[in-house]
Structure 1
Amino acid sequence: MNKLFSPARSAFVASVWGVMGLLASTGAWAQTAAPTTSNRQADFIVAVVNSEPITNRDVQVLRQRLANEAAARGGNRPDASELTRLALDQLINEKAQMQQAREAGIKIDSEAIDQAELNVAASNQLTREEMHKRLAQDGIALSSFREQLRTQLTLSRLREREIEGRVRVSDLEVEQFLREQLKAQAAQVPAQLNLGMILIAVPENSSEAAVQAFGERAADVARRARAGENFAELAKAVSQATDRGANGGEMGLRPADRYPELFLDATRNLKTGEVSAPVRSAAGFHILKVLERRQANTLLVTQTRARHILLRPSAQMSQAQAVAKLTEVRQAVVSGKADFAAVARQMSQDGSAQQGGDLGWANPGMFVPEFEQVMNRLRPGQVAEPLVSRFGVHLIEVTDRRNAPMSDQEQRTMARNALREKKLDEAYAAWVEDIRGRAYVEMREPPQ
């Protein structure tokens, strides 16, 4: 199952490969086919960046690609004028950056482009030869495709050279970040609370006089506890709870939201060791003592436990056949006619098969994105429709989910990565503005 785990990559490299994945899809690439003769005749220069032109055709191509990418992400699609502005702006920035890359002597060799081709093909579940056929079917010259890869790799290498080496995260920044995260978590994650309780029961249909007498008795017990009498001994002696005061009335450390709201209201302003006034419920009068409050002093991470069945397409079984097979398996599992673990042991083509497909507890980011996105949408007990990933066809079931404390090392690594990503984004934005500001940009005719 190791191949499912996602390798760490820089923010810039990740963004480049994300763009390439979109470029490699039919929808995003179809508009890059060579323009017709009439289009060439109508083409014109819309801007010049340090003597290098940007044509109306360049803007049209990128505008369509941005539109396709927005559609693939879902949500509101920018209007045509906004897409045109974004496309022209991106082309100007890209042109200025490519000029700087040439000045810096950055070159991408054929071997790097070959590897990029393989990565794009794999991310789209295609062999390199199948991808070439797809490009040809869409009227896209292989040379144009490889030139786009060269551009993306050049820009990535320039950004890594100009920005990544300059970004530093100090230990002091890590500590401050963790303090802020813990404070934010405390506002969302309930504290752990341990209460002691003494119950003075009030039988049903008790008269007002009887209820008053029980109330006075409860008030007396509360006074004794507040005066310093041992709460646990009082609970054993007088509590009428189901356990008759066993464990000294201690209810156990648990998330505060697992206590009745009545108890939380009565103890909200009490310090550890303090005793509440009697509070009335349908069962009777409760005297409560705060035995322990524990706020989480470590960050929590949502972990998911899942299992899967993996079928790898081959000459004997096509991808479509694998999807159809796992669709049948899902129907059998969901209807109760088959056991997921038993089927996984029998047919899964993955190292987890012997464990019934169990992948163990996983932190966010441990699996490749396409797998994790589907997994994260499932509730425990749900089985997803078959998923096609770069490794084959999966059937995924989530068995459990929990919030688990992160180790000190995990917290510090998370903090340092988050801070570095933020600084990289800020440094990148400033760097783009600087390059744009130093470039001579002449706007010609508005793009159409």
Structure 2
Amino acid sequence: MNHRLVALSVASLALLAPLTVPAQGLRPSSATVGAGVLAPARVPAATGLAADYIVAVVNSEPITNNEVRAALQRVLQQLAQQGNPQVDSKTLVRQVLERLINEKAQLQLARESGIAADEAAIDQAEQNIARQNQLTVAELRRRLTQEGGVPGQFRNQLRDQILLTRLREREVEPRARVSELEIDQFLREQQSSTPAVQQINLAQVLVSVPDTATPVQVTALQARAQRALARARAGEDFVTLVREFSDASDKASLANGGELGLRTADRYPPLFLEATHNLAVGEISALVRSGAGFHILKVLEKKSAALPAMTVTQSRARHILLRVSPQLTESAARDKLNEFKKRVAAGQADFAALARDHSQDGSAAQGGDLGWANPGMFVPEFEAVMNSLTPGQISEPLVSRFGVHLIQLMERRQATLSPQEQREAVRAMLHEKKLDEAYISWAQDVRGRAYVELREPPQ
């Protein structure tokens, strides 16, 4: 069992939306605060930043140097886990401080608005996090202490995240509602014609023509460009042609094989758009004449706004769920499920019969059968394991916030979304877009109304 605690950013914890619990009990509950642990900060002594002092005041509340260091360490841990340890430290410190200022202002607003988090909610959040890290609460607190954290401080962090989540649900969610008219309009726009290209990446060979060029010189330069075009259309390496023929003054472009970069259509000259409008990725344009000279354009990439996937991969699985209780520890539940798995593998028992006899879930009567499920129907920890299985394969015992599961994947299929399912997919996509936009606008407004004083470190 991997007991390493999962670091999770304050921002991602606080932005989780409320979720509902279905009868089969595999989707997230509204009591869930996060899917990981805010790792306690451990800053190397070599940084030379041991002294604590106030770096900012938000309204009347200070933000200290140690708070910034702790938050910075969490971010660095996350970047390292994502394989991206190379960051600009000064920029990152500024971003971390700005995030703390935003959170401080939002927490003050939450308290002023009467939003609170009682001990029961914090207990539930702590239990959820311990369970998802496959630990008991006592083990979670012990591990936090071993890694230099203070359980009391961790509970305060959870309290803050609950407050932020409830505030953002109240303030931001109503601004992100999607109407049926908006869905209809989106579908009409997508179905009326081929979706317009939103972003394009082109590469070019430029044979420049000086302003003072004579007609004879222009003809010679055009012939040179035509030779390059013929070789490009014959399949010769475009990067090689750029190095041989291109007169582009942009050295970065030359070093990148003439690549101009992925950008929106309005950031390209109209001549370039006209020349490449009907070209597929990888195709070469005709010769384009501009004030700068003769251009040969290759389409490297096109990105379009499109409908959500019309088909999805559905999975049909069954499971046995044992709920952890004083009478059944997590370890005992694992042992029991491992024994079930061995019996099924040896042909001594049937998975469905074991589910009917032992599973503590609403699906027990159906032999643990969960039916056909679209992506996103189950909580992430359950779905990730299910998606890793091949048909007929049985998982290792899995701990989720609901207990310990044994999963067997029965089959998979590609399913076409019904018109109603397509509408719901569009609704979800538009909602996420509006939610992001609404949160940014709201957070900027809260930040703008706060009195913020930045302070220099003591000399």
Q: TM-score, normalised by structure 2?
A: 0.57
2:110 counterpart letter in structure 1: A
Q: Where do residues 385-404 of structure 1 align in structure 2 (5 Å cutoff)?
A: 385-404=396-415
Q: Bigger CA drift: 368-377 or 330-339?
A: 330-339
375-384 or 315-324, which deviates more: 315-324
**Is 1:97 aligned to 2:118, yes or no?**
no
Structure 2 letter corresponding to 1:6: R
Structure 1 residues 70 and 349: CA distance shift in structure 2, 3 A: farther
Identical columns (%): 58
Query: Is 1:18 matched with 2:34?
Result: yes
**TM-superposed deviation, 1:150:** 2.7
Conserved? CA contact 1:380–1:398, under 8 Å: yes
- CA drift of 1:97 comes to 2.0
Residue number among 358, 365, 373 corresponding to 1:362 in the alignment? 373
Larger Cα-atom Rg: 1
1:45 and 2:46 are equivalent in the alignment: no
Which position in structure 1 is the counterpart of 2:72? 63
2:25 pairs with 1:4: yes
How far did residue 423 of structure 1 move? 0.4
Residue 128 of structure 2 contacts residue 401 of structure 2 at CA under 8 Å; is this kept in 1?
no
Which of 407, 431, 435 is the equivalent residue of 2:446? 435
Which residue is 1:375 aligned to? 386
Distance 2:79 2:437 in 1: 23
Distance 2:145 2:193 in 1: 53
Question: Where does residue 84 of structure 2 map in the other structure?
Answer: 76
Distance 2:346 2:192 in 1: 45
In the aligned structure 2, how far is the partner of 1:183 from the partner of 1:301? 23
Q: 1:140 to 1:403 in 2, by over 3 A?
A: same
The question of whether the paired residues in 2 share the 8 Å contact of 1:307 and 1:357 is answered with yes
Tell me by how many angstroms 1:94 deviates: 1.1
Residue pair 1:182, 1:297 contacting (<8 A) in 2 also = no
Please give the per-residue CA displacement for 1:168-216, whole angstroms capped at 9, x wherever unaligned: 3222211233456779999xxxxxxxxxxxxxxxxxxxxxxxxxxxxxx
Q: What do the CA deviations read for 1:143-187 (whole angstroms, capped 9, x no partner)?
A: 42332233222222332333222333222211233456779999x
Alignment of 1:6-405 (within 5 A): 6-7=27-28, 17-18=33-34, 21-23=36-38, 28-29=39-40, 31=42, 42-70=51-79, 74-77=82-85, 79=87, 81=89, 83-110=92-119, 112-121=121-130, 123-124=132-133, 140-178=149-187, 299-314=310-325, 317-330=328-341, 333=344, 339-345=350-356, 347-405=358-416
Question: How far off is 1:91 after superposition?
Answer: 0.9
Tell me the SS of whatever aligns to 2:73. helix
What residue identity is the alignment partner of 1:22? V
Provide closer, same or farther for how the CA distance between residues 98 and 393 of structure 1 changes in structure 2, counting only shifts above 3 A: closer
Change (3 A) 1:374 1:150: same
Contact between 1:67 and 1:83, CA under 8 Å: does it hold in 2? no
Size of the aligned set, in residue pairs, is 323
Unmatched segments (≥5 aa) in structure 2: 1-21, 196-306
**Alpha carbons of structure 1 residues 145 and 175: separation in structure 2 relative to 1, 3 Å:** same
Secondary structure of the structure 1 residue equivalent to 2:99: helix
Question: SS of the counterpart of 1:84?
Answer: helix
Equivalent residue for 1:425?
A: 436
Q: CA RMSD in A?
A: 4.2
Query: 1:287 matched to which residue of 2?
Result: none
8 Å CA contact 2:34–2:129 kept in 1: the answer is no
| Residues 185, 76 of structure 1: alpha-carbon distance in 2 compared, 3 angstrom cutoff | farther
Q: Distance in 2 between matches of 1:368 and 1:106?
A: 27
Residue-by-residue CA offset, 1:64-104 (whole Å, 9 max, x unaligned): 222344456x4434537165344222112112222333454
SS in 2 for 1:79: coil
C-alpha contact (below 8 Å) 1:384/1:395 kept by paired residues: yes
Q: Does the 8 A contact of 1:22 with 1:69 survive in 2? A: no
Once residues 438 and 89 of structure 1 are traced to their aligned partners in structure 2, the CA distance between those partners, rounded to angstroms, is 15
* Residue number in structure 1 paired with 2:284: none
The alignment partner of 2:27 has SS state of coil
Scaled by the length of structure 1, the TM-score of the pair is: 0.59
In the TM superposition, what is the alpha-carbon distance from 1:117 to its structure 2 partner?
4.3
State the secondary structure of the residue aligned to 1:384. Answer: coil
